[in-house]
Structure 1
Amino acid sequence: MSADAGASSRGLHAQPRLGISAHVLQGRELQILRMQAELPALILVDRGTKSVRNERGTAVRAQPGDAIVLAGGQMLDFTNAVDGGGQYEARWLVFDTTLLDDPYYLQRAAHVPPSSLWVLPRIRPGIANAFQAARQSLRPASGIPESVARQRMLEVMHWLLEEGIALARPPRTTSLSARIRALVGARPDDSWTAARIAGTLAVSEATLRRRLAAEQTSLTDLLADTRMATALTLLQATTQPVSAIALSVGYESPSRFAIRFRERFGFAPSAVRGHDRIDPLSNRTTE
């Protein structure tokens, strides 16, 4: 299976009520811990290997030509390992939950046992072709009507049913953390104060702090984690400079952004693209 041709394939494309496509590149092996996957996704690995483990201890590993399917609503650890040429490459397709309400799909999916992680070794040409057509339909300049794009996304989902894989709506959660992640994730560059978030969620600031403490987190940690997760995706799936990505997630200072990013993931933003270098005195990566 070959990846999309040309640098023009890079990018992150999202369509409301349909989903998101991304073409991810990494220049070195990285372990990415505690990433919240809210929506189901299909990942095709083109170069290197990808390993995924969820909170239950279920783990899968995909090599080039394989695919991984993720259920939504789970915390995951990822390890993306590069190939002999020093590259990891994969294409993502993320499914909006509105697709999961399609009546015919629901009828067929009801007969398939649910799971949280799957690996498809050497995927069928039918899935690969449907996957690529769905990805193309999510491009803003594709000119493909939403109704057609929707059918292309559903076609991928039905191919997965043929493999015994049913995508289910993520478990509904009443956690305040999940609501804040969704709120901030939609506009990570906004100024999200405790007063603004409390007002949007119709709770007092004291209640906000108390409920987050009960969920073993804080607003500061949630804001940083949501912004850094968005930044990681942009570093992997676009060619935007680090300074522009920093601004897009609410950091005017690239150096402050880099410090926060390293605190969250354990490596510098430049490491994602393989541009870091080794400090011979400390043996640490530096930008």
Structure 2
Amino acid sequence: MLVERLRPMMAPNGTAGRYAHGTQLFSYCTLDHERLKAIMLPCPLIGILLRGRKEVWLGDTVHLFEPGTVFVLPAGVPMDVVNIPAGPTSSYESLLLEMPALPAGMAPLTAVERGDGREGQRQFRIPLDRDLADTLVHAATAIGSNALGEAVKAVRLMEVLTLLRPIPAAGPLFSVGLPGEVGWLIGSAPSEPWTVERVAMHLGLGASTLRRRLAAEGTSFRAIVRSERLRAGQSALASGASSLAAAEAAGYVSRSHFARRYRERFGQSPSGRRPADS
């Protein structure tokens, strides 16, 4: 049973509020029956109910969770959440992992993968099988460990996300908004000669629609291209590449142009960037 395997990570009896396990991984506990009205999470999260019961209300529709339930809650959606302790002498506890951004290498959902996104059919519960249970336990244990490095923790998280990706209820974890989708596409091949028309075609939009929607979100195609290319250049430099090689990896024909943009963004020249600075 998933709860039994995660028992070593449970917060001490009598804990109320957050109990940290690792980066963005924590238990949320309450000793009292509580109702949180119209809360909106700043980022999506993965949860596992360990003790007590949970209700999530969307309008008049209630979603009920019992111990062992794996769930994903979205960001920016008003929800009434009810947390109910297991009994008079026991608490409510859920193990939660916040996901403010997708890790490097994990693509956001495409429009085809998102489907029609009908809100009336929104689900939070994640179907649990043995592979997912094993992967969740390994990830939680790794992220909560001080003995393991960040690379191992990142691999464990990627394993969880890979299994969750095809599950509709996990969709909020992979929804990054239009600027994020554009950024991912350009970042996957920053040296390519990207144009608004080419990106719009990949996303199933018209070029003018893409420009208009990016502007409505406070950014532009040009700004995203520049950001992703500079990010690629920074990554190349951190890996030990020369400033010329970094400029080429970032899609800059002119090394001086790359150097100027790099100084504007990061406050130092690419030639002064050493791998040890990362």
Please report the TM-score for the alignment, with normalisation by the length of structure 2.
0.49
Please report the TM-score for the alignment, with normalisation by the length of structure 1.
0.48
> Which structure's relative contact order is higher, taking Cα pairs within 8 Å and 6+ residues apart?
1
Larger radius of gyration: 2
